[in-house]
């Protein structure tokens, strides 16, 4: 066999090897698609099915935190972030206004933590939800907003929040255990997903009878509640 024939033989062998490798890769790709894709689909379906349900601003969920009488005619839903300064202002406004509207309205708080901007807000939500297990949601809710300037800039807020819990006669050991409960995490996430679906893009977002109120100051909230109640 001369040199040219030898070179041609080697090229043919390389080509056959390349074709064989390509066939093996195609087979592995088909095998992977046959087995891996169904597994991915099952994991995705399991995740979706096990997420807590979401509710619109015109619905009241069994696990919603409600201030006022449930049968009051007007529903106010607030999506808020405990570390958001504008939310603290809205909370103060609502509390000053509450004696004037509480016979006509009930207030629902839903979590909308914006963790990219507010690193302590997720922990605050966990404390509030865990406090709810001991019947102290609104007390912790109010304490977190009222003391926001004290803890907002802290690197670690647990000791500060523990002190609020003790002042509210909350069992700390039980509180910390409840904060690890996945259902509490899912409640917070579901609130935020529901807010996203309702069109919430920032906090605070105030909905009155399902309609988001632009620039929710005292006058606008009062006017909207009176209109909805009439």
- The secondary structure of 26-38 as a DSSP string is HHHHHHHHHHHHH
Q: Are residue 84 and residue 45 in the same domain, yes or no?
A: no
Which pLDDT tens digit goes with each residue over 118-158? 999 999 999 999 999 999 999 999 999 999 999 999 999 99
- Cβ-Cβ contacts under 8 Å for 177 (sequence gap 6 or more): none
% of the chain at pLDDT higher than 70: 80
User: Quick check: 66 pLDDT over 60?
Assistant: yes
Two tokens, residue 190 = 């579901």
Two tokens, residue 104 = 């006509």
Residue 55: inside a domain, yes or no? no
Q: Are residue 171 and residue 210 in the same domain, yes or no?
A: yes
pLDDT at 4: 59
Q: Write the DSSP string, 68-100.
A: S-TT-SEEEEEEE-TT-HHHHHHHHHHHHHHHH
Q: Are residue 78 and residue 164 in the same domain, yes or no?
A: yes
pLDDT at 121: 98
- 211-212/74-80 β-pairing: unpaired
Q: Are residue 10 and residue 111 in the same domain, yes or no?
A: no
The average pLDDT across 153-173 equals 98
Q: How many CA atoms lie within 13 A of 86 on its CB side?
A: 14
pLDDT at 51: 75
Q: Are residue 127 and residue 36 in the same domain, yes or no?
A: no
User: Quick check: 36 pLDDT over 60?
Assistant: no
Least confident of 15-19, 27-31, 207-211: 27-31
| Cβ–Cβ under 8 Å, residues 84 and 152 | no
Q: Are residue 37 and residue 135 in the same domain, yes or no?
A: no
CATH code of residue 92: 3.40.30.10
Q: Which residue has the higher pLDDT, 157 or 5?
A: 157
User: Quick check: 200 pLDDT over 70?
Assistant: yes
41: pLDDT confidence band, cut at 50, 70 and 90?
very low
Q: Are residue 134 and residue 35 in the same domain, yes or no?
A: no
Q: Are residue 77 and residue 166 in the same domain, yes or no?
A: yes
75: pLDDT confidence band, cut at 50, 70 and 90?
very high
Q: What are phi and psi of 170, to 5 degrees?
A: -95, 135
pLDDT at 31: 52
User: Quick check: 5 pLDDT over 70?
Assistant: no
Task: Say how far apart CA 98 and CA 204 lie, in whole Å.
Answer: 17
| Domain span holding position 78 | 65-229
The average pLDDT across 68-83 equals 97
Q: Are residue 37 and residue 79 in the same domain, yes or no?
A: no
pLDDT at 42: 40
Task: Say how far apart CA 65 and CA 100 lie, in whole Å.
Answer: 20
Residue 59: inside a domain, yes or no? no
Residue 57: inside a domain, yes or no? no
Residue 158: inside a domain, yes or no? yes
Residue 171: inside a domain, yes or no? yes
Residue 60: inside a domain, yes or no? no
Residue 56: inside a domain, yes or no? no
User: Quick check: 43 pLDDT over 50?
Assistant: no
Q: Which residue has the higher pLDDT, 45 or 75?
A: 75
Total number of domains in the chain: 2
7: pLDDT confidence band, cut at 50, 70 and 90?
low
Categorise residue 210: left if φ over 0, alpha if ψ from -120 to 50, beta otherwise: left
Q: Are residue 77 and residue 31 in the same domain, yes or no?
A: no
Domain stops at, among 50, 76, 91: 50
Q: Are residue 218 and residue 109 in the same domain, yes or no?
A: yes
| Cβ–Cβ under 8 Å, residues 73 and 209 | no
Q: Are residue 105 and residue 11 in the same domain, yes or no?
A: no
The predicted model scores a pTM of 0.78
Mean pLDDT computed over every residue of the chain:
88
């Amino acid at each position: 066999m001369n040199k040219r024939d030898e070179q041609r033989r080697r090229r043919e062998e390389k080509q056959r090897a390349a074709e064989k490798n390509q066939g093996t890769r195609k087979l592995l790709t088909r095998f992977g698609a046959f087995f891996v894709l169904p597994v991915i689909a099952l994991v995705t379906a399991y995740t979706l099915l096990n997420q807590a349900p979401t509710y619109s601003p015109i619905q009241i969920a069994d696990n919603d935190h409600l201030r006022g009488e449930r049968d009051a005619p007007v529903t106010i839903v607030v999506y808020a972030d405990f570390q958001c300064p504008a939310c603290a202002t809205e909370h103060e406004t609502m509390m000053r206004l509450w004696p004037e509207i509480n016979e006509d309205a009930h207030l629902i708080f839903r979590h909308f933590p914006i963790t990219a901007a507010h690193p302590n807000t997720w922990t605050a939500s966990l404390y509030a939800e865990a406090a709810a297990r001991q019947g102290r949601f609104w007390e912790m809710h109010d304490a977190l907003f009222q003391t926001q300037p004290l803890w907002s800039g802290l690197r670690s807020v647990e000791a500060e929040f523990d002190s609020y819990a003790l002042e509210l006669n909350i069992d700390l050991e039980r509180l910390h255990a409840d904060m690890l409960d996945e259902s509490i995490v899912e409640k917070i996430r579901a609130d935020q997903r529901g807010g996203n679906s309702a069109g919430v893009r920032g906090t605070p977002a105030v909905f009155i009878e399902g309609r988001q109120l632009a620039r929710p100051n005292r006058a606008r909230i009062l006017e909207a509640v009176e209109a909805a109640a009439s």
